[in-house]
Amino acid sequence: MSTVTAKQLKQKTGEIIRRVRSGERLTVTYRGKPVAVIAPPAQDEKKTLEELRPFNDAWRDIEETLQKTGPEFKGWKEATEWIRSRT
């Protein structure tokens, strides 16, 4: 397993992503100590990632749900008073 520094990761992200996509596992170090491992996903992880909905679809559902519900309080003062009355 190869090693890259946090600085190298920041400066050469594209190159490091290409290396990982080709199957390489990399240890990321910060001040000489290992802090993370970047590796391609395992087969079972790949399946899970493929089953995720696209971001735009998920976000659209969130926005639709928020539009159907109204705010619980009229403003921040009412919310603050409610919180204070609970203690």
| Whole-number pLDDT of residue 50 | 85
More confident residue, 43 or 85: 85
Strands 26-30 and 2-5: parallel
Residue 47 domain-assigned (yes or no): no
Domain, as residue range, for 69? 53-87
Residue 36 domain-assigned (yes or no): yes
Neighbours of 4 (CB within 10 A): 19
Residue 48 domain-assigned (yes or no): no
Q: How many domains does the chain have?
A: 2
Summarised one tens digit per residue, pLDDT across range 4-35 is: 999 999 999 999 999 999 999 999 999 999 99
Residue 58 domain-assigned (yes or no): yes
Neighbours of 63 (CB within 10 A): 10
What is the CATH number for 21?
A: 3.40.1620.10
Neighbours of 57 (CB within 10 A): 9
Q: Please indicate, yes or no, whether residues 87 and 68 belong to a single structural domain of this protein.
A: yes
